[in-house]
């Protein structure tokens, strides 16, 4: 390529049976794209991300395979681009997924008829009896199974879940509650058949014998394994007060729960207990559906221990403006009913609130009962302790997802439990690679998002113990970037309408570079690659 000739983008189709012509288009001058830059270009009707890295041009699909965000609005760093919405990362040369929550890879030239690409995968090999047993049917187990097949593991893979659904996108349940189960499946049954991944639905593991390498299930069956991955997650914690067994007391755990909550709340007085991410999302969702929405919180503000009081105040303001009532620093002491149904909720303060529906979202309990009596080590709260390879203390037993307590690299290997969707996916991938004797350490930056009234707050890092907040923009303007500081370093970020700042900070964390307090306070924000 000469110094003035524009890059030509050729897009042959991926289907060998397809005899249609290749698309060729002049998309820009060479001088339009400097090293370390990217741009969106149109070729035919395809949106293409053109990148230049160390003099090499690459073109991949521009839509993130997670929820379709334009990657051209994200952050490019070295050989990878990070999505501005939810933090998925892709290799700019190959299109391969390098960081979840996305699951599929991006198309390169040959596959731009499609918006995503499945990474090459193997299947079971006749005669190979090595069995990997995956307990739990969530994000961690699914990614573990897929990664094993991507590494051409030829043995048997069995995924067991007590739910009656194939793995689905659980992040949607509190955001789009009246959701059809079919619409949130992450993979269809044909996929599992094609790659020889057995899925056992409606089956619960009761106990694990790590000496015999067997798992016993609730139907009396016993399955042996060579390697075991436990990701049975957590369940909602119940309220222990009189009247909690009344009809219309709800907890959100499954798509059926979500649909029921949607239905029973229409035109009703709803009381929500708990000011976590899920509680706030459900309150936001119900604003234009319920007759009234009241939130009870045990702390002074929502998100007090996670996003901090400043964002808690903004959240309360946003929801209060939509007539959501808050009773903070309070607790439910009794649920009163008429004809077996909820009618009132009594608070510690003595207040009595009319309620047709009570939704409880006050935290979780780990599903680790199956490990009692086993050699698998748990912490004081009954979460499973793993190392940086997601290994438990028992050989050939791995654990991931919400059930695991693990060392977080960006928090100086502090042992943490993080119930994030993207982190569970990372655990599954790391477990699979280490099962295949490809030693790989977990080095993922936590990335989370929450949606309130159609606005998305993005969060990256691990902010526990922060001592100071540096804010760009204004909370009250609904446009801000909050940088959490500890020991004169940024340890986390939260943003609203400030894309792709959260992804830019996450990328700095991932590369191991320190963001100093001085840099955070500076008026120069060029390092955030804001569009």
Q: Please write the tens of the pLDDT for every residue from 251-309.
A: 999 999 999 999 999 999 999 999 999 999 999 999 999 999 999 999 999 998 889 99
- The Cα 397–Cα 226 span in angstroms is 9
Any domain includes 256: yes
Q: Region 212-223: what's the mean pLDDT? A: 98
Q: Strand 249-250 relative to strand 357-360: parallel, antiparallel, unpaired?
A: parallel
Q: What is the DSSP letter of 178?
A: S
Specify the higher pLDDT residue, 234 or 52.
Answer: 234
Any domain includes 224: yes
Q: Note whether 157 and 16 are same-domain residues.
A: no
Q: Please write the tens of the pLDDT for every residue from 382-407.
A: 999 999 999 999 999 999 999 999 99
pLDDT at 32 > cutoff 90: no
CATH code for position 488: 3.30.390.30
What Å distances lie between residue 521 and 28, 219, 311, 502, CA to CA? 37, 59, 19, 16
Report the pLDDT value the prediction gives residue 28, as an integer from 0 to 100. 57
What is the percentage of the chain residues whose pLDDT exceeds 70?
92
pLDDT at 149 > cutoff 90: yes
Q: Domain range holding 70?
A: 8-111
E strand or H helix at 428: helix 421-435
What is the pTM for the complete model shown?
0.87
Q: Which of 362, 393, 422 is the last residue of a domain?
A: 362
Q: Note whether 227 and 376 are same-domain residues.
A: yes
Report the pLDDT value the prediction gives residue 111, as an integer from 0 to 100. 38
pLDDT at 31 > cutoff 90: no
What is the percentage of the chain residues whose pLDDT exceeds 90?
82
- The Cα 378–Cα 301 span in angstroms is 32
> Buried b / exposed e across 213-226, counting CB within 10 Å, b at 16+?
bebebeeeeebebe
Q: What is the dihedral of CA 404, 129, 191, 207, to 10 degrees?
A: -40
pLDDT at 23 > cutoff 70: no
- The Cα 236–Cα 171 span in angstroms is 15
How sure is the predictor about 6, in pLDDT bands with cuts at 50, 70 and 90? very low
Any domain includes 216: yes
Any domain includes 512: yes
Q: Note whether 510 and 472 are same-domain residues.
A: yes
Q: Please write the tens of the pLDDT for every residue from 427-474.
A: 999 999 999 999 999 999 999 999 999 899 999 999 999 999 999 998
Q: Note whether 51 and 24 are same-domain residues.
A: yes
Q: Note whether 349 and 378 are same-domain residues.
A: no
Any domain includes 444: no
Q: Note whether 275 and 346 are same-domain residues.
A: yes
Q: Note whether 230 and 374 are same-domain residues.
A: yes
How sure is the predictor about 339, in pLDDT bands with cuts at 50, 70 and 90? very high
Q: Strand 214-217 relative to strand 205-209: parallel, antiparallel, unpaired?
A: antiparallel
- The Cα 142–Cα 285 span in angstroms is 28
Q: Note whether 55 and 99 are same-domain residues.
A: yes
Number of domains in the chain: 4
Identify the weakest region by mean pLDDT among 43-47, 150-154, 267-271, 505-509: 43-47
Any domain includes 308: yes
CATH code for position 320: 3.50.50.60
- The Cα 357–Cα 345 span in angstroms is 10
- The Cα 481–Cα 382 span in angstroms is 35
Q: Note whether 357 and 371 are same-domain residues.
A: no
Report the pLDDT value the prediction gives residue 117, as an integer from 0 to 100. 75
Tell me if 136 sits within 8 A of 144, measured CB to CB.
no
Any domain includes 120: no
pLDDT at 12 > cutoff 90: no
Q: Region 75-93: what's the mean pLDDT? A: 93
Any domain includes 443: no
Report the pLDDT value the prediction gives residue 529, as an integer from 0 to 100. 67
Q: Note whether 358 and 381 are same-domain residues.
A: no
HSE-CB for 437 with a 13 A CA cutoff: 1
pLDDT at 1 > cutoff 50: no
Q: Region 107-133: what's the mean pLDDT? A: 80
Q: What is the DSSP string of 152-177?
A: T--SEEEEE-SSSS-SB-GGGTTTS-
pLDDT at 24 > cutoff 60: no
CATH code for position 75: 2.102.10.10
Beta bridge partners of 76: 81
Q: Note whether 352 and 372 are same-domain residues.
A: no
């Amino acid at each position: 390529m000469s110094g003035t000739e524009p890059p030509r983008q050729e897009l042959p189709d991926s289907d060998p049976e397809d005899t249609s012509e290749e698309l060729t288009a002049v998309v820009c001058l060479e001088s339009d794209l400097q090293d370390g830059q990217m741009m969106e270009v149109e070729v035919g009707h395809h949106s293409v991300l053109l990148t230049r890295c160390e003099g090499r041009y690459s073109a991949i699909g521009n839509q993130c395979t997670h929820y379709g965000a334009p990657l051209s609005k994200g952050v490019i760093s070295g050989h990878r681009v990070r999505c501005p919405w939810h933090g998925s990362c892709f290799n700019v040369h190959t299109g391969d997924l390098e960081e979840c929550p996305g699951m599929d890879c991006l198309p390169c030239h040959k596959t731009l008829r499609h918006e995503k690409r499945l990474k090459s995968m193997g299947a079971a090999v006749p005669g190979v009896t090595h069995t990997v047993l995956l307990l739990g049917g969530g994000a961690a187990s699914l990614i573990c199974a897929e990664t094993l097949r991507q590494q051409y593991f030829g043995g048997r893979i069995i995924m067991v879940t007590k739910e009656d659904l194939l793995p689905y996108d659980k992040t949607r349940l509190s955001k789009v509650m009246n959701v059809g189960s079919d619409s949130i499946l992450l993979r269809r049954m044909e996929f599992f058949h094609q790659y020889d991944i057995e899925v056992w639905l409606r089956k619960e593991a009761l106990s694990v014998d790590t000496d015999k390498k067997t798992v016993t299930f609730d139907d009396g069956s016993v399955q042996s394994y060579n390697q075991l991955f436990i990701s049975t997650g957590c369940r909602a914690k119940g309220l222990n007060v009189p009247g909690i067994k009344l009809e219309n007391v709800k907890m959100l755990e499954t798509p059926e729960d979500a649909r029921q909550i949607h239905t029973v709340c229409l035109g009703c007085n709803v009381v929500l207990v708990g000011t976590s991410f899920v509680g706030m999302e459900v309150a936001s969702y119900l604003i234009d559906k319920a007759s009234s929405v009241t939130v009870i919180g045990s702390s002074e503000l929502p998100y007090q221990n996670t996003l901090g009081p400043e964002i808690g105040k903004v959240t309360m303001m946003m929801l209060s403006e939509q007539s959501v009532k808050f009773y903070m620093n309070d607790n439910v002491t009794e649920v009163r009913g008429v004809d077996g149904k909820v009618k009132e909720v009594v608070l510690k303060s003595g207040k009595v609130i009319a309620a047709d529906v009570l939704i409880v979202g006050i935290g979780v309990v780990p599903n680790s009962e199956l490990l009692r009596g086993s050699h698998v080590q748990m912490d004081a709260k009954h979460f499973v302790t793993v190392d940086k390879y997601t290994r438990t203390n028992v050989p050939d037993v791995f654990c991931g997802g919400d059930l695991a307590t693990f060392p977080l690299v960006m928090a100086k290997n502090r042992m943490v439990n993080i119930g994030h969707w993207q982190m569970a996916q990372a655990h599954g991938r790391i477990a699979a690679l280490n099962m295949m004797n490809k030693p790989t350490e977990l080095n993922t930056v936590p990335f989370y998002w929450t949606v309130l009234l159609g606005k998305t707050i993005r969060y990256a890092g691990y902010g526990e113990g922060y001592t100071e907040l540096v804010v760009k923009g204004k909370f009250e303007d609904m446009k801000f970037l909050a940088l959490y500081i500890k020991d004169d370093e940024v340890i986390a970020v939260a943003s609203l309408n400030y894309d792709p700042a959260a992804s830019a900070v996450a990328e700095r964390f991932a590369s191991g570079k320190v963001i100093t307090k001085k840099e955070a306070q500076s008026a120069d924000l060029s390092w955030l690659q804001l569009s």
